[in-house]
Amino acid sequence: MREAHPIEQAVGIDYYVSDADGIGGQLRTDPEDFRVAEIEHFDPEPVDADPGAYPEVLLRATLREWDTNDFAGRISDALGISRERVAWAGTKDKHAVTTQLFTVRDVDPDAVDALAVRGAEIEVLGRTGRSISFGDLHGNRFEIRIRDAEPTAAELTRETTAALREFADGDGAAGVPNWFGQQRFGSQRPVTHEVGLNIVRREWREAVLAYVANPFETEREATRNARQFVAEEAASDDPDWQACLDEMPGYLGYERSMLHRLVEDGADAPDDFRHALEAVPWNLQRLFVNAAQSYVFNRILSERLRRGLPFDRPIDGDVCCFVDREAPDGLYAPDTDRLQRVSGKRVSVMERHCDRGRAFVTAPLVGAETELADGEPGEIERELLDELALTPTDFELPGSFESTGTRRAILVRTDLTVEAEELTFEFALPSGSYATGVMREFMKSEPMDL
């Protein structure tokens, strides 16, 4: 297997599973080169339904170069409401054209319909009785164009496609490891998992500094200088948090919010730093811990590949899940509520299910209620948790930081079509899987080009 780039290895992604040379090129040269549309799974009532019973207004937004969190903040500001009243099912890439659903609680649908937001087309769909959440999304459809590829791109694309189809059923399907992509951890500055690991270990001060300090060369100079200033102050005997706040640029709003709490509430006890972390929106608090879980997952999957174990079929000790029977046709979505431990004679039975696209091997997104695998897969999981000084019960955390955990398929399967002349890839992925996990196998470019 080819080794991954160092920046990918820093977030647990160690390998490619196709050996063909990459076609190179770049994604997102223009936002229209990367189009994402949600496969929706959330039906509204009519817009004139009783607002007492259906307080949420459901809207569909097509966004050009909008971070999902930033767009939620923009519409909450425009409507004069708390950002906590805006919800969505999935966070999307900023440098793209994305179509996705949002709900907004206790607002006038006409006010939403009248919103004029740069780079956004907004359509009110109706009312719902609750806010939208992660489970209300089947998946996403992608249309992705690669620019500036190698002259032999068409030939290499065919070679890689043939290799990836060995891991999936059917002539049109391809299978790749279900990595958490670079953007899960921060494309320019992959630190969210470091923050999350500190949180899970209850190292609250270290978590704040991993986010606020910790400069990266990929950042602009003013940002690097401000983070370095915070790092040096934090290392002193009597840190001046007000000076740190003064030094932090206004565009780093979350960092400033954390520092402001340290100034206002003090920084004398571990809980002061936990309170500072809670200055950011609840979904970002959860994202920190989710990123730590994602890093552990990637590491487990990498170790499985390093040992030469399959990721498209089970071995003794694995935990498998079945396919989601409610998913739309053509979307190979796992149902991690339907788990099956695999041992003895059951291994060959589950091999057949996996070969036919009816089941997936899983690895843990470790949380407070996670049950680990048996056999060699369980050995990998336990050894890695020991290396990171973590246990499932460590995820019994306060507030939005807590996670019960689950399991996740280690293979993602998709029906893939490629238009060779313009190198346009079209495919659909279940919710939570990353398009870059597919594209990196073809491009083998620096992660910054993905």
Residues labelled catalytic: 93
232, HSE (Cβ side, Cα atoms, 13 Å):
8
Tokens coding 281 = 């929106």
Query: In angstroms, rounded to a whole number, what is the distance separating the alpha carbons of residues 165 and 211?
Result: 40
Q: What span, in angstroms and rounded, lies between the C-alpha atoms of 41 and 126?
A: 14
- Work out whether strand 173-177 and strand 137-145 pair parallel, antiparallel, or are unpaired: unpaired
Cα separation, 34 vs 57, whole angstroms: 28
Q: Residue 408 pairs with which residues in a beta bridge? A: 363
- Spatial neighbors of 260 by CB under 8 A, at least 6 apart, are 245, 279
Which amino acid is located at 272 in the chain? D
Q: Single out the residue of 138, 42, 34 nearest to residue 87, CA to CA.
A: 42
Instruction: Tell me how far apart the terminal alpha carbons of the chain are, to the nearest angstrom.
Output: 20
How are beta strands 319-323 and 334-341 bridged, if at all? antiparallel
Under 8 Å between Cβ of 427 and 176: no
* One-letter amino acid for residue 216 of the chain: F
Q: At which residue do the structure tokens 């890839």 appear?
A: 425
In our burial notation (b when 16+ CB lie closer than 10 A, e otherwise), range 153-175 reads beebbebbbebbbebbbeeebbb
Burial class (CB within 10 angstroms; exposed 0-12, middle 13-18, buried 19+) of 53: exposed
Contact 437/176 with Cβ under 8 angstroms? yes
Q: Which two tokens stand for residue 197?
A: 């690991």
Residue 409's closest CA among 146, 180, 68? 180
Rounded-to-integer distance, Cα 362 and Cα 381, Å:
11
Please give the helix or strand (H or E) that residue 254 lies within, else none. Answer: helix 253-265
H helix or E strand, kind and range, residue 397: none
C-alpha distances (whole Å) from 62 to each of 67, 85, 101, 120, 281 are 12, 20, 9, 6, 23
Show the tokens assigned to 307. 């040992």
